[in-house]
C-alpha cells in the first residue's frame, strides 16, 4: 500500500476510536454525574446500553479493519506472485518466439527469398489472405500472388498449406497434454 493510503486509513481508525471512546467516556461521566438513586431506571439502562454498544462497535470495527488489512496484504502478495509468474512466462515465450522467428528467417534466406517475398511468406504463415496482404503492404493483389508463387517455387512447396506445415510440423504439445491418436472413432491408449 502507498503511504497516502496508510495515512488516511490510520486517520480514519484514530477518528473512529476517538468518537467511540468519547461516547464511552461521556456516557460514563454522565452516568456518574447523574448519581441515580435507582440503578434500575430507564435512563441508567439506556446509558449503559449506549456505552456497551460503543464498546462492542469499537472492538468489532477494529477487528474488521485488521482482517481487511491482512486480507488486502495477502491479495497484494498473491497479485505480485501472479505478476512474477506472468512476466516469467512472457520472457520464456518471447525467447521461444524469437528463436522461431530467427529459424524462419534463416530458412527464408536459405531459399533465397527477396525482402518482398519474405514479407509475403511471413504474412501467409500468419494466415493472411492475398487480398489482406495487398491492402496492408500497398501492393496489388496480383503482385502479392506473384511473390507467393515465387516463394512456393523457390522453396519447392506446393502452396500455403505446405508452407505452414514446413514450419509447424514439428511443433507439438508436451506429452501429457496430447491425446492418444484416434482410430476408427475410438481413442487408443
Helices (H), 35-140: 42-111, 115-125, 130-137
Cα distance from N-terminal residue to C-terminal residue, the chain: 53
**Domain 91-166: which CATH number of 3.50.50.60, 3.40.50.2300, 3.40.50.150, 3.40.50.300:** 3.40.50.2300
C-alpha cell read off for 92: 520464456
C-alpha cell read off for 178: 496430447
pTM over 0.85: no
Q: Which residues contact 189 (CB under 8 A, 6 or more apart)?
A: 180
Cα 72 from chain centroid (whole Å)? 17
Per domain, the residue ranges of the chain are 3-70, 91-166
Tens digit of pLDDT for each residue in 162-177? 999 898 887 666 666 5
Whether residue 55 has pLDDT greater than 90 = no
Confidence of residue 7 (pLDDT cuts 50, 70, 90): confident
CA dist., res. 28 & res. 31, Å (int): 5
Specify the 3-state DSSP secondary structure of 157.
Answer: coil
Amino acid at each position: 500500500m502507498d503511504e497516502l493510503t496508510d495515512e488516511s486509513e490510520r486517520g480514519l481508525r484514530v477518528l473512529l476510536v476517538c468518537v467511540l471512546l468519547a461516547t464511552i467516556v461521556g456516557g460514563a461521566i454522565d452516568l456518574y454525574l447523574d448519581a441515580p438513586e435507582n440503578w434500575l431506571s430507564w435512563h441508567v439502562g439506556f446509558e449503559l446500553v449506549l456505552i456497551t454498544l460503543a464498546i462492542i462497535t469499537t472492538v468489532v470495527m477494529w477487528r474488521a479493519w485488521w482482517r481487511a488489512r491482512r486480507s488486502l496484504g495477502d491479495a497484494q502478495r498473491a497479485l505480485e506472485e501472479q505478476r512474477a509468474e506472468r512476466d516469467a512466462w512472457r520472457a520464456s515465450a518471447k525467447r521461444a518466439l524469437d528463436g522461431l522467428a530467427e529459424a524462419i528467417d534463416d530458412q527464408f534466406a536459405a531459399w533465397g527469398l527477396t525482402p518482398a517475398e519474405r514479407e509475403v511468406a511471413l504474412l501467409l504463415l500468419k494466415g493472411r489472405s492475398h487480398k489482406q496482404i495487398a491492402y496492408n503492404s500497398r501492393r496489388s493483389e496480383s503482385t502479392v500472388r506473384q511473390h507467393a508463387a515465387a516463394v512456393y517455387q523457390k522453396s519447392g512447396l506446393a502452396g500455403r498449406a505446405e508452407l505452414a506445415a514446413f514450419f509447424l510440423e514439428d511443433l507439438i504439445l508436451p506429452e501429457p497434454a496430447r491425446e492418444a491418436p484416434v482410430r476408427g472413432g475410438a481413442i487408443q491408449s
